[in-house]
């Protein structure tokens, strides 16, 4: 029997792009969400961004107009996540910050509560070595925007318990996502392949051999890449992409993963892609 989603309680740590996107996914399925962030300004903006992206999800056909919406609670206190069925950590792609968030929430929720690290590149076992309850930890890589992309990478670490695997399967069923289980390691599958390719695409633009538009057109029309690597980079967020590439470079030594200068310049200039209105392309209207 499928669980009544309105009785499932989800907590999301971090009200950035991914935290808001995951919250929108859950709320659009009727799941109550507690969204936590330590930045009062970001938290103040989160509710408006959630409402905006719920409308976008409807416009994109990802949810019906009359579908029920779960209750959203925004808070700066981890104490408010007590009683959650699952906690998804969606903070910045920084290993120390993720460990800190997971350690602090472990003191609030009971042992056996599913703890999800939403990471694009940091190995689950690396995080598990530093948190109090590695048996409760599972990696789930939600893509952006998570309410439009129905498939996720799921990573079971060597210390992950069977109960946590069963719990993550229930979470994915509640969220109506397809989980593909892959082996642990830097970047897992998607980021290990895609982010290096994007970095190479940026280098081609940096070298003046082709424009961003031409690179994307060739990759779309000749190789079947749905959006092209540089539009994809803008959707990921150029700052997030640079962080992920640093993680991959530090853990693999692959020079192809060292963030190239043009990417780092855009990040320094605040051109982070769709969310800032400018990246390799310029955007108007709703940003995700």
Dump pLDDT digits (tens) for 30-54: 999 999 999 999 999 999 999 999 9
Summarize the confidence of residues 76-89 as an average pLDDT. 97
Give the pLDDT confidence of 151-192 residue by residue, as tens digits: 999 999 999 999 999 999 999 999 999 999 999 999 999 999
Phi, psi for 50 (deg, rounded to 5): -60, -45
The whole-number pLDDT of residue 1 equals: 47
Q: Distance between CA atoms of 258 and 99, rounded to whole angstroms?
A: 24
Would you say residue 286 has pLDDT above 90? no
Summarize the confidence of residues 86-91 as an average pLDDT. 98
Q: In terms of DSSP bridges, do strands 151-155 and 137-141 run parallel, antiparallel, or are they unpaired?
A: antiparallel
Q: Which CATH class for the 191-275 domain?
A: mainly alpha
Would you say residue 2 has pLDDT above 80? no
Give yes or no for a cis peptide into 145 (omega within 30° of 0). yes
The whole-number pLDDT of residue 12 equals: 98
Would you say residue 66 has pLDDT above 90? no
Token representation of residue 241: 């992409």
Q: Distance between CA atoms of 60 and 84, rounded to whole angstroms?
A: 30
Query: For the structural domain made of 5-182, what CATH number should be given?
Result: 3.40.50.720
- The average confidence (pLDDT) of the chain is 95
Give the pLDDT confidence of 116-127 residue by residue, as tens digits: 999 999 999 999
Phi, psi for 159 (deg, rounded to 5): -100, 0
Share of the chain above pLDDT 90, in %: 92
Whether residue 257 contacts residue 249, with contact meaning beta carbons closer than 8 Å, is answered with: yes
Q: For residue 72, what are the β-bridge partners?
A: 33
Q: Distance between CA atoms of 171 and 169, rounded to whole angstroms?
A: 5
Residue ranges per structural domain of the chain = 5-182, 191-275
A 10 A CB-CB count for 48 gives: 10
Write out the chain in H/E/C secondary structure: CCCCHHHCCEEEECCCHHHHHHHHHHHHCCCCEEEECCCHHHHHHHHHHHHHHHHHHHHCCCCCCCCCCCCEEEECCHHHHCCCCEEEECCCCCHHHHHHHHHHHHCCCCCCCEEEECCCCCCHHHHHCCCCCHHHEEEEECCCCCCCCCEEEEECCCCCCHHHHHHHHHHHHHHCCEEEEECCCCCCCHHHHHHHHHHHHHHHHHCCCCCHHHHHHHHHHHHCCCCCHHHHHHHHCHHHHHHHHHHHHHHHCCHHHCCCHHHHHHHHCCCCEHHHCECCCECCCCCC
Token representation of residue 220: 């779309």
Would you say residue 64 has pLDDT above 90? no
Q: In terms of DSSP bridges, do strands 10-13 and 86-89 run parallel, antiparallel, or are they unpaired?
A: parallel
Task: Mention every residue, 6+ apart, whose C-beta is less than 8 A from residue 4.
Answer: none
Token representation of residue 38: 């330590």
Token representation of residue 222: 């000749």
6 confidence band (pLDDT: 50, 70, 90): confident
């Amino acid at each position: 029997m499928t669980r009544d989603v309105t009785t499932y309680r989800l907590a999301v740590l971090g009200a950035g792009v991914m935290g808001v996107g995951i919250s929108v996914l859950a709320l659009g399925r009727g799941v109550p969400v507690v969204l936590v962030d330590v930045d009062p300004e970001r938290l103040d903006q989160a509710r408006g961004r959630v409402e905006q992206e719920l409308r976008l999800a409807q416009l994109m056909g990802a949810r019906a107009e009359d579908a029920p919406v779960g209750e959203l609670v925004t808070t700066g206190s981890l104490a408010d996540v007590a009683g959650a069925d699952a906690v998804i950590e969606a903070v910045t792609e920084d290993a120390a910050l993720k460990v800190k968030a997971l350690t602090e929430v472990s003191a609030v929720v009971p042992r056996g509560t599913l703890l999800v690290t939403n990471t694009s590149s940091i190995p689950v076992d690396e995080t598990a070595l530093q948190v109090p309850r590695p048996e409760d930890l599972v990696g789930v890589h939600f893509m952006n925007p998570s309410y439009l992309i129905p498939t996720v990478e799921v990573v079971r670490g060597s210390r992950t318990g069977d109960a946590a695997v069963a719990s993550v399967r229930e979470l994915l069923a509640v969220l109506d996502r397809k989980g593909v289980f892959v082996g642990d390691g830097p970047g897992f599958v998607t980021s290990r392949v895609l982010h290096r390719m994007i970095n190479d695409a940026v280098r081609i633009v940096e070298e003046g051999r082709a424009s961003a538009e031409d690179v994307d057109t060739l990759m779309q029309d000749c190789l079947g890449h749905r959006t092209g690597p540089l539009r994809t980079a803008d959707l990921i967020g150029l700052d997030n992409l640079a962080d992920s590439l640093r993680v991959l470079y530090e853990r693999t030594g692959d020079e192809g993963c060292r963030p190239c200068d043009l990417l780092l310049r855009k990040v320094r200039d605040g051109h982070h892609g769709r969310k800032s209105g400018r990246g390799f392309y310029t955007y108007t209207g709703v940003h995700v």
